[in-house]
Structure formats: C-alpha cells, structure tokens
Amino acid sequence: MSSVESQQEQSSQSDPSPSPNSCSSFELVDMDAGSLYEPVSPHWFYCKIIDSKETWIPFNSQDSQQLEEAYSSGKDYNRIVPTDGGRYDVHLGERMRYAVYWDELASEVRRCTWFYKGDKDNKYIPYSESFSQVLEETYMLAVTLDEWKKKLESPNREIIILHNPKLMVHYQPVAGSDEWGSAPAEQGRPRTVKRGVENISVDIHCGEPLQIDHLVFVVHGIGPACDLRFRSIVQCVNDFRSVSLNLLQTHFKKAQENQQIGRVEFLPVNWHSPLHSTGVDVDLQRITLPSINRLRHFTNDTILDVFFYNSPTYCQTIVDTVASEMNRIYILFLQRNPNFKGSVSIAGHSLGSLILFDILTNQKDSLGDTDSEKDLPSIFIDQGDTPTLEEDLKKLQLSEFFGIFEKEKIDKEALTLCTDKDLQEMGIPLGPRKKILNYFRTRKNSMGVNRPTPQSPAGANMSNIPKESEFYSSTNGLDVGIGQVPVKYPRLIYKPEIFFAFGSPIGMFLTVRGLKRIDPNYRFPTCKGFFNIYHPFDPVAYRIEPMVVPGMEFEPMLIPHHKGRKRMHLELREGLTRMSMDLKNNLLGSLRMAWKSFTRAPYPALQVSETAEETEAEPESNSEKPSDINTEENPVPVKEEAPPIHVGMLNGGQRIDYVLQEKPIESFNEYLFALQSHLCYWESEDTVLLVLKEIYQTQGVFLDQPLQ
C-alpha cells in the first residue's frame, strides 16, 4: 500500500461520515465551503492528425461559444453547427467535424474541461467528456468538504490523484504486473493535470469576421505537397488565410473599425487527386523500373504532372477537374452564404497558374453566348467506341464490384447519378467508392454527356450561371492560345475579377508553344486583372511583360515590404552604391578645384580627354563649393523621372510583373534557397498584402498608410 493510500485511509477513519442528526451542520459547512467552488468553463476542441500523431486543437472563441450554446440548449442535440468561417460543419450528436468544400477525414470533437500533459511534446491532452465529468464531481466534493488526496482510476487504468487545487497528477499504468498478478498503483514520472482551458498554454483565436467581401479560389501546382513540409493545398491555403486575417487587422484597421470590410475567403482547389485516381498510376507502375524506388515514385507523383498537362487525354481531365471544382464550390458557397454580394478572383501556384491562364483565355466575352457541337473542331467530339461499365471497372482494377452493379441493374448513366451514400449502401468500401465516383464524374464532364444544369441555391443570385449548352467553350479565335493542347475548355459560371499567378511558368510555356509576342490590346475575355507575382530566386517563375513590349528593357515592380520599407540589406546596398558615387564625385571635384586655384591651368590628368571648350574655365567665386562643380571625366547623368511604362491591357493598363524582396539570408546564396523560394508564397506577408490591396482597391478601400 502506498503512502498516499495509507493517508487516505487514516483520514477516512478520523473523519467518519456525518450522521443524519448532523445534517444541518453539514449543510452549513457545505454552504460556507461551497462558496469557494465555481463550475469549470468548458472549451471545445477537435482532434487532427499532424505528422502521424493525434493533436487536439481548440476552436476559436466564437465557434466554441456557438457549440456550447447549441449543446446547452438541449432542444436539438443532433444540430449541425458551422465553424471555421463556414468551412467545416460540426455534428453535435456524432461529435464529429466534417469539411464542407473539399474531401478530408472527419475529426473527433470534444467538449473539454480537464487536461493532462503529454509525454513527448508537452502539449495538453483533454480527457474524455465522461471522465472529465467524474473529475469535476470529485473536485467539487474536495473543495466543498476541504478533503483532498482524492484518487481516481481512468477507464484505461491510469491513476489521477488530486493532492490540492494546485497539485494534481496523472500516473500511467505499468507495462507488466508482479508475480501475484497485481500492478502498483502508479509508476514512472507523473504528468501534470489541469482544470479548465485558462490554466493551460494554448493559443485560442477570437474568430473570423462573419462578413465575406471577396472569394478567391486557389489552385495548386504539381504534386500532392505544396511546400517543404509536404503539406497539402488545404493546409497551405489555411496559412495564406491566417496571414490575410492578421494583415487586415494591422493594415486595414480603419476600414474594419468602420465596418467597411469583413474578410476575404480563400478556398483550395485540388486537381492532383482526381488525376491520379483515374488509373494512370497503375499504368505507370507497370513500366517503372524497380531501382531507386523512392525517386521514381516522387517523379511519377510530381514531375510527370507537367507531361500529363501536355497530353490531350489527361489535360482534358485536369481542366475539367479545375473548372468543375471551382463551379461546384462556387454554387455551394452561395448556398451557404446567400447574402454574399462580393466578387470572385482566382489564384494559381506554379503549374496551377498555367491551367487557370489557359482556362481564362478560352472563356467567352459574355456568359450568355452559346456553343453548339457543330462549331467545335472534330477533335473535340468523341468519335471512338464508348467503353462498357465492366471495361471501366477493369481499368480501375475494381472488377470484383461489377457483379454488385449488375445485380442492382446499374449502368454507366445510372452510376453518374449515384452518390457516395448509394454506393456505401451497396457494400462498396470507401476507397473504391471514391475512385469510382471521381472517375465517372470526370468522364461525364470531359465527354459532355448528361451534364446537369447547376441548380440555383435558395436566396442566391444565380442569374449569371450559364445553361447546359453554354458550359463548354471552344479554343478558336484566341491568338494568345497558340500551341495549346487541343482540348475542350469548360466554362466558368462567374467572371473572375483578378487572376493572381504565384511563381508562374506561363511566360516559358507560351514561348515554347511558339508565341513570340502578346498583343498589347489583348485581355482576358472575362477577367479584368492579372498579376504575375514571383520571388527573384524562383527557378520556375518567368516574366510576362517582355512578351507584351519586347523592344523595351525595364525592371519588374518591386513589391513593398509589409512594414512599409525596403528590407535592410537592400537599403544598405543602395546606400553603399550612392555613397561610393558621392565620394568619387567629391574627391575628383576637390582635386580639380585645388589644382586650378594654384596653377590656373587644367588638371593634367584630364587634359588629354578634355576639349578646348571644357578647358576654358569660367571665373569662380570664393563662395563656390567643390561639390557644386561637375568634375568627373565622364559625368554621371542626372537620373530623371522615368516615363510611365505601358504594358498593354492584360492587366487593365497596369503593370503585370511584381517581384518580392529577398530576405537577407537568401542573398548570400541564391542556389541554396532556390527551391524554398518557389514555395514561399503561402506564408509571405508581402504577397498576401499585395493580393488584399488589389482586391479591396476595386471596392474603393485602401490601406491605412500607403507603402513605400
């Protein structure tokens, strides 16, 4: 028996339970001591897998309050509560959190009041709701009766001891047991136990503004990972959104205080997963060499995406996926935000920017124009035999499920109308369900068969959504699209306001396609603005402006630092250059003036290069300063104000190319930071601030202070 247990038994023997006659005295003690007890304030958390490990993340204060109100109401326990700005739904009855706009594993949700510190990362982990309630009841009795040394055993045989309000510990169970089959009560290093979220170190945000002013779709580049930490497009866009919320509070503070603006919503668009779920990975695996397996797998999963985009078959799949995803998310967004009156913009990183560029160049001037199949080139029309359902399933290596579809009398047309729930009820597992649905929906869009007309959400203005016959656009009539892969480009059901390209190879692809020059009068049919944003060391990025005005050499626009100044090393570099020129001018001027004052003759070192007119010195007054005289052999011309540069109408007459300022450490070795510079845009405050500035400028909202 441990010392703690013996102390508990002694205390229980010395303080027997009160008799019924002492009820009043017990009530008096309970009332006096009970005044010290206050119920714990709960906070809601959700569990997410980060680096193959469960991590509990708190909801922001606004979402946690909404969840607690829904939980406390008791009217509808199965209520669905939107959280994270409407990007996730929490099903209270299931205690699960589901993504709204993209596919993601559901996360467990928990109403948390008690926590214990983990072993490795020292982060606090919440107890289950049922055991937290037991802990809270035990704590209440301990405070009320002023009796501590309370010991509890969790469902997994872990021991928790409440020594006093400030000392509560958690012991893990031992790995084995002794020869009698009983294990000690506690072993190893105890872990700290905390009550209430206010007593643990965790960052809880206030929440996001409810008003959404603008919607931006973000399309990723090659591969499933978007940065050096191998994070998905969803995680990277989350960082981009978080940076934008912080910058709105610091650089648009006046507009937020006056309730002129709310926030910009950024939503990711994933095309890599649908592309690689078409069965192409199986075909590649059969021909891939077994040597250097990891490198070949990386190549198949990332670099080959560029070759897929140059293939008519898979290029059709990619553009269909991107356009259909943006259209689907847009309709769903309007359904969930019926009061949204803002505009829509699009952004693409790396190859994703090229995909968006090709889609934009093949839109129609008016959403009301229609297409007919006879207007399309013959290459756009399916002329081959349509494969059967059994052949399609065999291509996906899912032939074992053909018998289920045959039994249910489901053909390819019926399968395109099936939902995930329908396939689940047939007994098809999750993985095959996702592959089947994605494959046949992609085939449906690419072949133009049985395309459903977008349904108008209740309360939303859907007057600009085209009809079924307007959903695809041909590629003819666009000189800027020369050399493009001959595919059938889908229509977007909205007109984007601005197109932002991050680290974009658009210029290189246009040049390789044979396009030497972009007509200065050319503009996107449905998009007004275009900004080509890149890091100076990005190996994938190329400029656009030299293709519009090839006969002129000029620098791109330097993106201002988000703190309103140039980076220190750039200022120092420019300062040293100016100082060296000033020293040179002043030194030569002083020497020449001193020589003339003594000899009244030209300076011999300059006599050879000077003309007769230059040697005739004008009378100089004693008040003339050496710095006022131009004394250089080859005088440096005075830098005049450069005339404005016109780069065509692709960005409405504004500049197109915008370059970031490299960090001081990056300037030491350009090659070392080349790969990192291609993936830096997601957390770049300068990039995000430029996007926000251009978006809100179209609405007449400007920065609190202009950046220099």
Out of 151-165, 202-216, 364-378, the most confident range is 202-216
pLDDT higher than 80, residue 139: yes
Contact residues for 28 (Cβ-Cβ < 8 A; gap 6+): none
Write the CA distances from 402 to 405, 432, 439, integer angstroms.
5, 12, 15
The CA distance from 528 to 6, in Å, is 79
Q: For residues 433 and 472, is the Cβ–Cβ distance under 8 A?
A: no
3-class SS at 215?
A: strand
Q: For residues 696 and 247, is the Cβ–Cβ distance under 8 A?
A: no
Where do we find the tokens 């011309």? 637
Q: Average the pLDDT over 529-545 and give the result.
A: 96
Please tell me the predicted confidence (pLDDT) of residue 603.
45
Q: For residues 342 and 214, is the Cβ–Cβ distance under 8 A?
A: yes
Q: For residues 673 and 537, is the Cβ–Cβ distance under 8 A?
A: yes
The CA distance from 667 to 257, in Å, is 39
Write the CA distances from 11 to 3, 147, 148, 180, 407, integer angstroms.
12, 9, 10, 28, 72
Whether residue 350 lies in the annotated active site: yes
Where do we find the tokens 């949204």? 340
In DSSP terms, 66 is beta-bridged to none
pLDDT higher than 80, residue 384: no
pLDDT higher than 50, residue 73: yes
> pLDDT tier at 447 (50, 70, 90 boundaries)?
very low
Structural domain boundaries in the chain: 43-174+187-195, 212-363+489-563+647-699, 389-443
pLDDT higher than 50, residue 594: yes
**393 phi, psi to nearest 5 deg:** -65, -35
Secondary element (H or E) of residue 192? strand 187-195
The CA distance from 79 to 245, in Å, is 29
Q: Quickly count: other Cβ atoms within 10 Å of residue 641's Cβ.
A: 5
- Among 40-44, 318-322, 353-357, 610-614, whose mean pLDDT is lowest? 610-614
CATH classification number, 389-443, choose in 3.30.565.10, 1.20.1250.20, 1.10.150.50, 3.50.50.60:
1.10.150.50
pLDDT higher than 60, residue 244: yes
Do 212-363+489-563+647-699 and 389-443 have matching folds? no
pLDDT digits (tens, 9 = 90+) for 620-664: 444 444 444 444 444 444 444 556 788 999 999 999 999 999 888
Instruction: Name the nearest CA neighbour of 346 among 214, 510, 485, 506.
Output: 214
Secondary element (H or E) of residue 502? strand 498-502
Q: Average the pLDDT over 57-77 and give the result.
A: 89
CATH classification number, 212-363+489-563+647-699, choose in 3.30.1490, 3.40.50, 1.10.287, 2.60.40:
3.40.50
Please tell me the predicted confidence (pLDDT) of residue 682.
96
pLDDT digits (tens, 9 = 90+) for 324-341: 999 999 999 999 999 999
Q: For residues 428 and 410, is the Cβ–Cβ distance under 8 A?
A: no
- Per annotation, catalytic residue among 64, 277, 350, 473: 350
pLDDT higher than 80, residue 459: no
Burial 333-359 (b: 16+ CB within 10 A, else e): bbebbeebebbbbbbbbbbbbbbbbbb
> pLDDT tier at 395 (50, 70, 90 boundaries)?
confident
The CA distance from 384 to 89, in Å, is 44
Q: Tokens for 55?
A: 């991590």
Q: Tokens for 239?
A: 């960082």
Instruction: Name the nearest CA neighbour of 69 among 86, 83, 57, 56.
Output: 83
Q: For residues 632 and 581, is the Cβ–Cβ distance under 8 A?
A: no
Q: Average the pLDDT over 516-536 and give the result.
A: 95
pLDDT digits (tens, 9 = 90+) for 220-243: 999 998 988 889 999 999 999 999
pLDDT digits (tens, 9 = 90+) for 543-572: 999 999 998 899 999 999 888 776 554 455
The CA distance from 288 to 286, in Å, is 6
- Going through 633-696 in order, the beta strands assigned E by DSSP cover 657-659
Q: Quickly count: other Cβ atoms within 10 Å of residue 503's Cβ.
A: 27
Ordered DSSP codes for 517-580: ---TT---SS--EEEEEE-TT-SS---SHHHHSTT---PPEEPPPTTSS--HHHHHHHHHHHHH
